Amino acid sequence: MPLFPMKKSAVVCAALIWPAVAVSAKDPAPATAPPTAAAPAEAAVSPAEARKRLSNALGTYFGNRQKNVPSAEPIDVKSFKKGLGDVLATKNRSYALGAQFAGQLVHDELDVTLDDLVAAFSAVMDGKEPLATPQQVNDEIQKLQARLRQKQQELADKEAAKNNAEGKAFLEKNRTADGVQVTESGLQYKVLQPAPDADAKRPTADDSVVCHYRGTLLDGTEFDKSPENEPRTFGLRGVIKGWTEGIPLMPVGSKYRFWVPSELAYGSSPRPGGVIKPGHTLVFDVELVSIAAPTAATPPVQLPGARLDPGEKAVATTPPIAVEMKDGKPVVRQVTPEQEAEAIRKAREAEKAAGKDGAPKEVK
């Protein structure tokens, strides 16, 4: 949650903690909104039960957010409860705003003078001459943001070093385990289920593959998986290095387990706020269902990546991609839904003009 800039709003506290869901009365619903079936009526609940449900939902939401925020000091739940209770007991929005602001100052370990801060705040609220010019405010905020970025980077580097050390220790021990094989890059794998056909084809790094998969951390925490009975399609040039190298080792119909070192996964730059942290070694169980040759009209796919927490449903963790042929070679690029639709339209027009199936060699 950024400390600056802050908007002068009665709902600033809520906006910093959970996303707004209200729609302005000035924004009418789209005239072309498709009709939807009426939601089933919810059984009436007592005020106490409604309050409990809301409290459980907000506590879970806020906990999930805070759990994945890098911090030099762990959260003490007893202290959290006291602070929360003190603010709620006042039922005073101004007090709550001050507590929210103080919480951010404590979180970011900022050294400020209470009287000076309040005097400057009061001058703005009372319409008096500000105690800092716009240029001074901008300069101080830029310096603050630079310090906070450096602090976050130091915490991330420390966490990455710890995770890398744990990953290397595990891989060093695991490489001698029964059935585990190690490639030159350090990727480790084991055949869990051989292909039923001894002559089954293996994909190349230029192919797209259809597979079931499940990804976890070394401690078993799940961060992503394909939906049950719905294999996913990936272009092997658009995934992590461990997949680009490992999947071509698999014959169609087989199931492998891969232990992917951090440098072959997301390294020091995983998805912010996700389960995967800098330096994490990842584990994937993959079943190769089939090989799908890439075409210009290949629909976009989501790459394996981190979810906010193990209990959530899968969400998009990387931008959509499309695989297309250019100069006889597959090219992976990020696309928007509009670009995808336009690419498919052009491909169909080309097929119609040619009087046969096929896709154009290049989609611009």
**In a shared domain, residues 107 and 186:** no
> Rounded CA gap, 320 and 238, in Å?
10
In a domain, 359, yes or no: no
Q: What count of other Cβ atoms lies within 10 Å of the Cβ of residue 315? A: 13
For the chain, how many structural domains are there in total?
2
| Helix, strand or coil, per DSSP, at residue 80 | helix
pLDDT of residue 9: 33
**In a shared domain, residues 188 and 84:** no
pLDDT of residue 220: 95
User: Domain range spanning residue 301?
Assistant: 175-315
In a domain, 354, yes or no: no
Question: Angle 77-90/93-107 helices, nearest 10 degrees?
Answer: 150
> Rounded CA gap, 298 and 342, in Å?
12
Is the distance from CB of 5 to CB of 145 less than 8 angstroms? no
**In a shared domain, residues 184 and 255:** yes
Residue pointed to by tokens 């906006």: 15
Among 299, 315, 331, the domain-final residue is 315
Q: What count of other Cβ atoms lies within 10 Å of the Cβ of residue 235? A: 25
**In a shared domain, residues 184 and 97:** no
Residue 232 Rama label (left phi>0; alpha psi -120 to 50; beta)? beta
**pLDDT of residue 216 exceeding 80:** yes
**In a shared domain, residues 185 and 276:** yes
**In a shared domain, residues 105 and 185:** no
In a domain, 219, yes or no: yes
**pLDDT of residue 332 exceeding 60:** no
For residue 42, what pLDDT band results from cuts at 50, 70 and 90? low
Judged by average pLDDT, the poorest of 12-26, 96-110, 174-188 is 12-26
**In a shared domain, residues 14 and 109:** yes
- Mean pLDDT over 259-281 rounds to 91
In a domain, 296, yes or no: yes
Residue 91 Rama label (left phi>0; alpha psi -120 to 50; beta)? left
pLDDT of residue 176: 95
Which of the pair, 32 or 128, is modelled with greater confidence?
128
For residue 361, what pLDDT band results from cuts at 50, 70 and 90? very low
**pLDDT of residue 27 exceeding 60:** no
Quick one: tokens of 97? 């705003």
Residue pointed to by tokens 């800098």: 278
**pLDDT of residue 193 exceeding 60:** yes
Among 315, 334, 350, the domain-final residue is 315
**In a shared domain, residues 237 and 291:** yes
Is the distance from CB of 192 to CB of 236 less than 8 angstroms? no
Helix ranges restricted to H, the chain: 12-17, 47-67, 77-90, 93-107, 114-125, 134-174, 241-246, 337-354
Q: Give the tens place of pLDDT for each residue, 120-174.
A: 888 888 888 888 888 888 888 888 889 888 988 888 889 899 999 999 999 999 9
Give me the chain's average pLDDT, please.
Answer: 74
In a domain, 144, yes or no: no
Which of the pair, 248 or 118, is modelled with greater confidence?
248
C-alpha to C-alpha distances, 143 to 72, 146, 152, nearest whole angstrom: 21, 5, 14
Q: For residue 193, give the CATH number of its domain.
A: 3.10.50.40
**In a shared domain, residues 108 and 179:** no
- Listed in sequence order, the residues at least 6 apart from 195 whose beta carbon sits closer than 8 Å to its beta carbon are 250, 251, 252, 253, 254
- Mean pLDDT over 324-343 rounds to 51
Considering only CA atoms, give the Rg of the chain. 26
In a domain, 154, yes or no: no
- Mean pLDDT over 322-340 rounds to 49
> Rounded CA gap, 130 and 124, in Å?
6
Among 131, 164, 192, the domain-final residue is 131
In a domain, 155, yes or no: no
**In a shared domain, residues 120 and 183:** no
- Mean pLDDT over 284-299 rounds to 74
Residues with a catalytic annotation lie at: 213, 223-224, 240, 266, 284
**In a shared domain, residues 200 and 262:** yes
**In a shared domain, residues 180 and 309:** yes
| Helix, strand or coil, per DSSP, at residue 213 | strand
Q: Give the tens place of pLDDT for each residue, 63-121.
A: 766 666 666 567 777 887 777 788 778 888 888 888 888 888 887 888 888 888 888 88
Q: What is the DSSP string of 272-318?
A: TTSS--TT--EEEEEEEEEEE---TTPPPBPPS---SSTTSPP---S
Judged by average pLDDT, the poorest of 223-232, 253-262, 330-339 is 330-339
In a domain, 79, yes or no: yes
| Helix, strand or coil, per DSSP, at residue 169 | helix
Q: Which residues pair with 329 in a beta bridge?
A: 326
